C-alpha cells in the first residue's frame, strides 16, 4: 500500500475529510542528502517532515511534506497533535521485568519487579533508590491507598497493596515495611484495587475468585467464584459495583446481593486489562485480540481500535477522564476519551505490563518487560480562542501565537503546567503550586496567586470570573485574583466533577449531583449560597450534561441539559416561588453548547446539526419554536462527534477520528440579540427586512412578545404570515388598561396563572373571571365569582349558553347548586359587563402613566 501511495496522487478525500496529520520533524543529522527530503522546500522557513496520514484508522507513511504538498497541489496546514515526550534511563534499574508501578506524588513513583526489589523514583532529582527487597515475592499488581476523600487526607494514605504470585497480598508502608501479608487466593493474586473511599479492597486471582476485604485485611465476602482466571478488576465510580474479566467477557457485578448482573462479550480474545473512570463513567478494556475498546457503563461499545501487532497488555485512564494510555510490546499510545489516538510512541521497552498516571494527569509511567520504567510527559497541548493559539511546548513553557499578525510570545512558568483554559480574553494556567491569569491584551504581566491544593482538575471561565476545582473544593475567582466564593453542598466530591457536570455564568453556578444524577444544585456565583429558596432542580431521569447561557440578566438565566434518554430540556434557574417549568426542545441530542456572546444554543441532534437562535421562544410561543431553528445535515461528522466550542459565529466540532471541523452559522441572529438587549427595536426590524429570512422574523416576533413590545411583534408576525396572532395582538392594543394588556400578553405566551394573578392584583375581578370563561375553565371562573361575590350570574349564563350550543345538559353539582332559583337575564348581564369596562376605562384615564413591570417566569 505504501508503494502504491508513493507512485500515485494522494486521494482528495484525505484532505476533504480533514483527518489529522501527524507531522514529526527530522533532526538535521537524519535529513537525507538526496531524494524527496533534500528537495528545495516550497515555502521559506518550512522544515522537512515525515508525514503519516490516518486513512481508515491506519497510519500510512506518505513521504516528506514537500512531496505530499506537491501531490495535493493545494496548501495544507499540518495539525500538530498532543504528543508524549518519553524518557528511559540508559540502563534498566531492575534486573528482571517490571510488573507494576504506582505514583505517591506527582514527582515520586514506586516500581516493583521480579528481581524482588521495590524502587523509588524521584523525578525532580532524577534519583532512584531501593526501598525494600522482598525475597521470594514475585509482585503482580500495586495500588496506593487513596490519598484523600472529599478534601480530607486519609490516615492510611502512606500504604499500598502489593499482590503476588504466591496467593498473598501484602500491605506495605511507604518505607518498604511489610505491615501485613494475607493468604488470599489459590494461585497468583492477579490484581488488587482499593475503592475510591479507601473503605474496601478487591482482589482477583487465578482461582477465578473475587474477594472483598476491609482496609485492615479482614475478609468481608467472596463476591464471585468462576472457573477461569480473573485477570483484571476495577471499581465503579460509586464503589457499589465491580467490573471484572471472564475470558472474552466483561461482567459488572453489584456488591448488593440479588442485584442485576451485566455481562457482555467484549473481545475476540482473552481480556487482559480493564479500567473504569470515576469522572466520565467510561470503561476501558484490552485483550489478546490486539484491540482496545471504550464502553459506557451499560456495556455499549463507543470505540474499538484497529488490531495492533501485539496483544494490548495495559490500559489506564487519566484521573480527569479526558485521556487514557495504552501499552503493548514496544508500544505506548496516548488517546482521547472517545478513543482516537493523539500520539504513538515505539520505545524499546518490551511489553508494557502496567501503566500509571500521575496525580496531576501530566505524566505516565510504564512497567516494562525489559526491566525499564518508562516515563512520558504530555506536551503540545493546544488551546485556541479567536485569533490566539497557545501551545504547551515544554512542561514549563507555553508559546502564544496571534494568527492575525503572526506575533509570538513565550510564557515561562516556575513549575509544571497542569491545567489551562483560554476564553473571554483571558488565559488561566494552573501549575503545581500557583495560578497565573493572563490578559490577551498583555502577556507580560500575569496576575499570580498561590493555590491551596496544587492538583487542579478543572478550570471553567465566564466573562467576569473563573472557577477552579481541586481535591479540596470549588473556588470562584475574579480575573484580578480575588476569591469570590467557595460553594459547597452535602456529599460533595470534587474529584468526579467535569465540564459536562459543572457550568458557570456571570451570576450562577450549577453542579449536577453525582449521588443522585437527577439533581442539579444551583448557586449564586458571587456569594456561593444556594440560589433562591435553596432547593435543587430535580428532573425525572438522570442528567448527563448541563450548560448555562452566558448573557442577559440573572432573572432570565437559563440552563439547558441533556438527560439519559438524550432529550434536551431548558428551564429557568430562578423559580419565583413556583416549580420550575422544564420544557423539552430537542430529542436524540448528543452534545450542546451556548454561544459566548449571545443566548444562542447549538447541538448535534441525531443526524442533524441544530441551532436554536432563540431558545426562549418555548416560553413565549411554543408553536413558533420550529421556525426559529437552523438545521443542517450532520452525517459528515461520522459517529459520536462532540461540540468543542461556540465562539462568535463559528462552531468547532471534533469528529470521532479526532479531526476538527469548523462550521459557520449566520451572524445575523447574534446582531439581532444585541439590538434587542439594547432595546433598538427599529434597528431590529430594519435588519430583518434587509436579511429577508423567515427565521429572523420568527426570532424577532418571540423577542418582541417576551419584551412586551407588541408593535414590533405585530410587524414580525405579519411577516411570517401568522394572521390569527396579528389579529389577537390588535385586540390587545384596544384593551382599556395597561394591566389588561399585560395580562393578555401573558395569555398570548401561555402563562394563564400569571395573567389571572396580575388581573386580581389590579382589582380587575370581572376581567379575571372572563379570562377563565374564554378558556372554558368553568370551575375556576365560578370559584372566583363566588369568592368575590360578583358576576356569578355571568358565569352561569355563559355556561348555560355553552351547553346549549353543544346540546348538553348540566351535570356539575356545583353549577346546579348555584343555578337554583337564579334566572339568567342577558340584558342585565350585558349592562354589568359594559359598566365594568367603563369603570376600567375611567380608572386607566385617571391613573398617571407610571412605568410598571411584572415578573414572569420565562
- Predicted pLDDT at 232: 97
CATH code: domain of residue 363: 2.130.10.10
Low-confidence stretches of the chain (pLDDT < 70) are 1-80, 148-157, 454, 576-580, 847-858
Q: How many domains does the chain have?
A: 2
Distance CA 807, CA 828 (A): 25
Q: How far apart are CA 659 and CA 636, in angstroms?
A: 12
Tell me if 640 sits within 8 A of 591, measured CB to CB: no
pLDDT the model gives residue 29: 33
Nearest C-alpha neighbor of 759 from the set 771, 775, 773, 774: 771
Using DSSP, state whether 385 is helix, strand or coil: strand
- Other C-beta atoms lying within 10 Å of the C-beta of residue 104: 18
Report pLDDT for 72: 35
The Cα 92–Cα 236 span in angstroms is 36
Question: Is 561 domain-assigned?
Answer: no
CA distance 201 to 217: 8
Residue 510 located in a structural domain: no
pLDDT of 580 reads 65
Of the candidates 262, 275, 266, 248, the one whose C-alpha atom is nearest the C-alpha of residue 302 is 266
**Residue 215 falls in which region: left (phi positive, over 0), alpha (psi -120 to 50) or beta:** alpha
DSSP 8-class letter at 706: H
b/e sequence 747-773, b meaning 16+ C-beta within 10 Å: bbbebbebbbebbbebebbbbbbbbbb
134 within domain boundaries: yes
pLDDT at 577: 54
The phi and psi torsions of 740 (rounded to 5 degrees) equal -65, -40
Whether 745 is covered by a domain: the verdict is yes
pLDDT at 119: 95
Containing structural domain, residue 724? 681-846
Phi, psi of 437 (to 5 degrees): -120, 115
**Is residue 143 in a domain?**
yes
Last residue of a domain, one of 378, 405, 431: 378
What is residue 109's predicted lDDT score, i.e. its pLDDT?
95
- Residue 806 to residue 799: CA distance in whole angstroms: 11
What is the rounded CA–CA span in Å between residue 298 and residue 734? Answer: 59
835 three-class SS: helix
Phi, psi dihedrals of residue 417, rounded to the nearest 5°: -75, 130
- Give the model's pLDDT for residue 678: 93
Ranges of beta strands (E only) in 56-116 are 58-64, 83-87, 98-105, 108-113
DSSP 569: E
82 inside domain: no
90 exposure class (CB count in 10 Å sphere: 0-12, 13-18, 19+): exposed
In SS3 terms, 612-679 reads as ECCCCHHHHCHHHHHHHEEEEECHHHCCCCEEEEEECCEEEEECCCCCEEEEECCCHHHHHHHHHHCC
Residues 6+ apart with CB under 8 A from 125: none
Global confidence as pTM: 0.82
Question: Are the beta carbons of 809 and 818 closer than 8 angstroms?
Answer: no
How do beta strands 168-173 and 159-164 pair?
A: antiparallel
Specify the pairing of strand 108-113 against strand 98-105: antiparallel
Report the SS3 class of residue 513.
coil
Is residue 54 situated within a structural domain? no
Residue 267 lies in a domain: yes
Cα end-to-end span (Å), the chain: 60
Q: What does the pLDDT look like over 111-134, one tens digit per residue?
A: 999 999 999 999 989 999 999 999
At 734, list the grid cell. Answer: 384596544
Task: Indicate the burial class of 109 (C-beta count within 10 angstroms; 0-12, 13-18, 19 or more).
Answer: buried
pLDDT for the residue 812? 86
**Distance of alpha carbon 764 from alpha carbon 739, whole angstroms:** 9
Which residue, 378, 411, 445, sits at the end of a domain? 378
The DSSP bridge partners found for residue 651 are 646, 663
Question: Which of these three, 378, 411, 442, is where a domain ends?
Answer: 378
Contact, 54 vs 342, CB < 8 A?
no
Contacts (Cβ under 8 Å, ≥6 apart) of 554? 507, 508, 574
Q: Is 716 in contact with 693 (CB distance < 8 Å)?
A: no
Q: What is the side-by-side order of every strand in the sheet holding 456-461?
A: 456-461, 465-470, 473-478, 483-485
Amino acid at each position: 500500500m505504501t508503494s502504491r501511495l508513493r507512485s500515485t496522487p494522494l486521494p482528495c478525500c484525505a484532505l476533504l475529510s480533514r483527518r489529522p496529520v501527524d507531522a514529526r520533524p527530522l533532526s538535521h543529522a537524519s535529513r537525507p542528502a538526496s531524494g524527496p527530503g533534500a528537495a528545495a522546500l516550497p515555502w521559506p522557513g518550512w522544515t522537512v517532515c515525515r508525514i503519516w496520514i490516518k486513512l481508515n484508522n491506519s497510519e500510512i507513511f506518505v513521504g516528506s511534506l514537500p512531496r505530499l504538498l506537491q501531490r495535493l497541489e493545494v496548501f495544507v496546514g499540518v495539525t500538530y497533535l498532543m504528543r508524549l515526550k518519553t524518557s528511559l534511563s540508559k540502563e534498566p534499574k531492575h534486573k528482571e521485568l517490571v510488573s507494576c508501578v504506582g505514583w505517591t506524588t506527582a514527582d515520586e513513583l514506586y516500581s516493583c519487579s521480579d528481581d524482588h526489589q521495590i524502587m523509588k523514583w524521584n523525578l525532580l532529582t532524577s534519583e532512584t533508590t531501593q526501598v525494600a527487597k522482598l525475597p521470594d515475592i514475585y509482585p503482580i499488581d500495586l495500588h496506593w491507598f487513596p490519598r484523600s476523600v472529599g478534601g480530607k487526607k486519609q490516615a492510611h494514605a502512606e500504604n499500598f497493596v502489593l499482590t503476588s504470585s504466591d496467593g498473598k497480598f501484602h500491605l506495605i508502608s511507604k518505607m518498604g515495611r511489610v505491615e501485613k501479608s494475607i493468604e488470599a487466593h489459590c494461585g497468583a493474586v492477579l490484581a488488587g484495587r482499593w475503592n475510591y473511599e479507601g473503605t474496601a479492597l478487591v482482589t482477583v486471582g487465578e482461582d477465578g475468585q473475587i474477594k472483598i476485604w476491609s482496609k485492615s485485611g479482614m475478609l468481608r465476602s467472596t463476591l464471585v467464584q468462576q472457573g477461569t482466571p480473573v485477570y483484571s478488576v476495577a471499581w465503579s465510580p460509586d464503589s457499589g459495583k465491580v467490573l471484572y474479566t471472564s475470558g472474552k467477557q466483561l461482567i459488572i457485578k453489584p456488591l448488593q446481593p440479588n442485584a442485576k448482573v451485566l455481562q457482555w462479550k467484549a473481545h475476540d480474545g482473552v481480556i487482559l486489562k480493564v479500567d473504569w473512570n470515576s469522572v466520565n463513567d467510561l470503561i476501558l478494556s484490552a485483550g489478546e485480540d490486539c484491540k482496545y475498546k471504550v464502553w459506557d457503563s451499560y456495556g455499549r461499545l463507543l470505540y474499538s481500535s484497529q488490531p495492533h501487532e501485539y496483544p494490548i497488555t495495559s490500559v489506564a485512564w487519566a484521573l480527569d477522564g479526558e485521556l487514557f494510555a495504552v501499552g503493548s510490546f514496544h508500544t505506548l499510545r496516548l488517546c482521547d476519551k472517545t478513543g482516537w489516538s493523539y500520539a504513538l510512541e515505539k520505545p524499546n521497552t518490551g511489553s508494557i505490563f502496567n501503566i500509571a498516571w500521575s496525580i496531576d494527569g501530566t505524566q505516565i509511567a510504564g512497567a516494562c518487560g525489559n526491566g525499564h520504567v518508562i516515563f512520558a510527559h504530555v506536551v503540545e497541548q493546544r488551546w485556541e480562542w479567536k485569533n490566539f493559539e497557545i501551545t504547551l511546548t515544554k512542561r514549563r513553557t507555553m508559546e502564544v501565537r496571534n494568527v492575525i499578525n503572526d506575533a509570538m510570545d513565550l510564557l515561562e512558568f516556575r513549575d509544571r503546567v497542569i491545567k489551562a483554559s483560554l476564553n473571554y480574553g483571558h488565559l488561566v494556567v494552573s501549575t503545581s503550586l500557583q495560578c497565573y491569569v493572563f490578559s490577551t491584551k498583555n502577556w507580560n504581566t500575569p496576575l499570580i496567586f498561590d493555590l491551596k491544593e496544587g492538583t487542579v482538575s478543572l478550570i471553567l471561565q465566564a466573562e467576569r470570573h473563573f472557577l477552579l476545582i481541586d481535591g479540596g473544593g470549588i473556588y470562584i475567582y475574579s480575573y484580578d485574583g480575588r476569591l469570590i466564593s467557595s460553594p459547597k453542598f452535602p456529599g460533595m466530591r470534587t474529584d468526579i466533577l467535569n465540564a459536562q457536570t459543572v457550568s458557570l455564568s456571570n451570576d450562577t453556578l450549577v453542579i449536577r449531583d453525582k449521588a443522585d444524577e437527577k439533581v442539579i444544585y444551583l448557586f449564586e456565583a458571587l456569594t456561593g449560597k444556594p440560589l433562591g429558596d435553596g432547593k435543587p432542580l430535580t428532573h425525572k431521569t438522570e442528567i448527563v450534561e448541563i450548560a448555562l447561557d452566558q448573557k442577559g440578566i440573572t432573572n432570565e438565566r437559563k440552563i439547558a441539559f441533556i438527560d439519559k434518554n438524550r432529550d434536551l430540556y431548558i428551564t429557568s434557574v430562578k423559580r419565583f416561588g413556583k416549580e420550575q417549568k422544564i420544557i423539552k426542545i430537542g430529542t436524540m441530542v448528543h452534545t450542546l453548547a451556548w454561544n459566548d456572546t449571545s443566548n444562542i444554543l447549538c447541538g448535534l441532534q441525531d443526524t442533524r446539526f441544530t441551532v436554536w437562535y432563540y431558545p426562549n421562544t418555548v416560553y413565549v410561543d411554543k408553536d413558533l419554536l420550529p421556525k426559529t431553528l437552523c438545521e443542517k445535515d450532520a452525517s459528515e461528522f461520522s459517529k459520536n462527534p462532540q461540540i468543542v466550542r461556540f465562539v462568535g459565529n463559528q462552531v468547532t466540532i471534533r469528529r470521532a477520528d479526532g479531526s476538527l471541523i469548523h462550521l459557520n452559522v449566520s451572524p445575523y441572529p447574534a446582531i439581532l440579540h444585541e439590538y434587542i438587549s439594547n432595546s433598538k427595536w427599529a434597528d431590529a426590524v430594519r435588519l430583518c427586512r434587509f436579511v429577508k429570512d423567515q427565521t429572523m422574523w420568527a426570532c424577532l416576533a418571540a423577542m418582541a412578545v417576551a419584551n412586551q413590545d407588541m408593535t414590533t411583534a405585530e410587524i414580525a408576525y405579519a411577516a411570517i404570515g401568522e394572521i390569527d396572532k396579528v389579529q389577537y395582538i390588535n385586540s390587545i392594543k384596544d384593551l382599556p388598561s395597561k394591566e389588561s394588556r399585560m395580562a393578555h400578553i401573558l395569555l398570548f405566551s401561555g402563562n394563564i396563572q400569571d395573567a389571572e394573578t396580575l388581573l386580581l392584583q389590579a382589582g380587575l375581578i370581572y376581567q379575571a373571571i372572563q379570562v377563565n370563561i374564554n378558556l372554558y375553565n368553568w370551575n375556576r371562573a365560578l370559584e372566583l365569582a363566588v369568592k368575590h361575590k360578583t358576576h356569578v350570574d355571568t358565569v352561569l349564563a355563559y355556561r348555560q349558553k355553552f351547553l346549549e350550543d353543544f346540546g348538553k345538559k348540566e351535570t356539575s353539582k356545583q353549577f346546579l347548586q348555584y343555578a337554583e332559583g337564579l334566572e339568567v337575564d342577558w340584558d342585565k348581564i350585558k349592562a354589568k359587563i359594559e359598566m365594568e369596562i367603563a369603570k376600567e376605562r375611567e380608572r386607566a384615564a385617571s391613573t398617571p402613566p407610571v412605568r410598571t413591570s411584572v415578573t414572569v417566569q420565562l
